Amino acid sequence: MQVSANQIAQLLQATIKGDPEILVNRPSQIEEGGKGTITFLGNPKYEEHLYTTTASVVILQEDFVPKQDIQATQLLVPDVYQALGILLGHFGKNKGAPQGISEMAFVNSSLDNEIHVGAYAVIGKNVSIAEGSIIYPQVYIGDHVIIGTNCIVYPGVKIYAGTQIGSNCVIHSNAVIGSDGFGFAPQEDGSYRKIEQVGNVIIEDNVEIGANTVIDRASIGSTRIKKGAKLDNLIQIAHNVEIGSNTVIAAQAGIAGSTKIGTACRIGGQAGFVGHIEVADGTMVQAQSGIAAAVKSPNTAFYGSPAIGYRDYLKSYALFKNLPTLQNKIRALEAKVKELESK
C-alpha cells in the first residue's frame, strides 16, 4: 500500500512542509529510515537522527524549531503521539484481517459468520462471539463465554467459562482469563482446603490485555476490568479485583484480591498492591513500589516499598544515599567533642 504525504496529512489534519506528493508505504524508526517510509520525532534525545534520517516523511510537533535543515517532507501536528496512534492504526487496518471459521477448529456453538476462528481453536457450548471478532489458532474459549464486536484474541489465549468480554478488546498470546482465584482455608491439621471460585471475569469495552497476563475469576461476583483499561504483559490480577476505566498498568505488577483501583491510574512495572484496599482515581505508582494501605486522595504519586509520597521518597533517598558520608561526619564531630571535653 502506497499513500502520499498529502493523503496522510488529511488523515492527521497536519500541515505539510515539503513535497505533498511523495509516497510512503510503511512506518520506520527515525534512526533507520529508508526511502518510502514515514517516521516521527517524539523524544528530543532522538533529534540528532532527524537531520540524517533517510525516511521520506517525518511527523513533528507543530511548534518544533529545527537546528539544521531537514531533508524529509514534514507533517506538523499538535500532538505527535496522537498522530502516530492514528497513523499506525491506519497501516494496521490495511494488513487484511482473516475471515471465516477454520475446518480444523473445534466449535460447539452456533457462531456469527462474520467472525474468524483459526485452526485448533476450541470453542465451548453456548458461546457468543459478535461480528468482526478474530479468534486466532489454538485459543481455548470455555462454555457460556460472551465476546463483543471487533475483538482480537491472539494464539494461545485461554478464556475460562462464564467470562464476559466487551467490544474492541485485544487479548495477547497466552493470557489466561478466568482462572481460579487463590482461595484456600487453613485446616486444623495444617493443610488447606480449596474454596471454590464460582464468580467470573467481566472485561468492558476497549480494554487491551498483554501476553501472559492472568486475571482470576471472582470467588463470588465478578472480577472487573473497566472500559479503556490497558494491561501490559505478565500482570497478575487476583479474584474480585476491580480495575478502573482508563487505568494503565505496566508489566509484572500484581494486584491482590478484592482491591479496587480507581479511574485513570498509572501503575509502573513490578508494583504490588495488598488486598482489600481502595486506590483513589488518578493515583500514580512508580515502578517496584508496594502499596500497603488504602490511597484516599486522588491524583497523588507514590514511590518506595512500602510506598510513601513520591516527593517524600525522593527527599528520603537523597539522605539515604549519603548516610555513609553523614556517618563519617558524625564520628568526626564526636571525636572533636571528646577532644574538647578532655581539655
- In whole angstroms, what is the distance from residue 132 CA to residue 167 CA? 10
The torsion region of residue 155 among left (phi > 0), alpha (psi -120 to 50) and beta comes to beta
291 phi/psi in degrees, rounded to 5: -95, 110
Amino acid type, 316 = S
What angle separates helix 323-342 from helix 310-320, to the nearest 10 degrees?
50
Do 275 and 254 contact (CB within 8 A), yes or no? Answer: no
Judge residue 54's burial from the number of C-beta atoms within 10 Å of its C-beta, 0-12 exposed, 13-18 middle, 19 or more buried: middle
CA distance 18 to 274: 55
239 is catalytic: yes
Question: What are the phi and psi torsion angles at 40 (to 5°)?
Answer: -150, 160
Would you say 209 and 215 are in contact if contact means Cβ atoms under 8 Å apart? yes
Write down the catalytic residue from 90, 144, 172, 239.
Answer: 239
Q: Catalytic residue positions?
A: 239
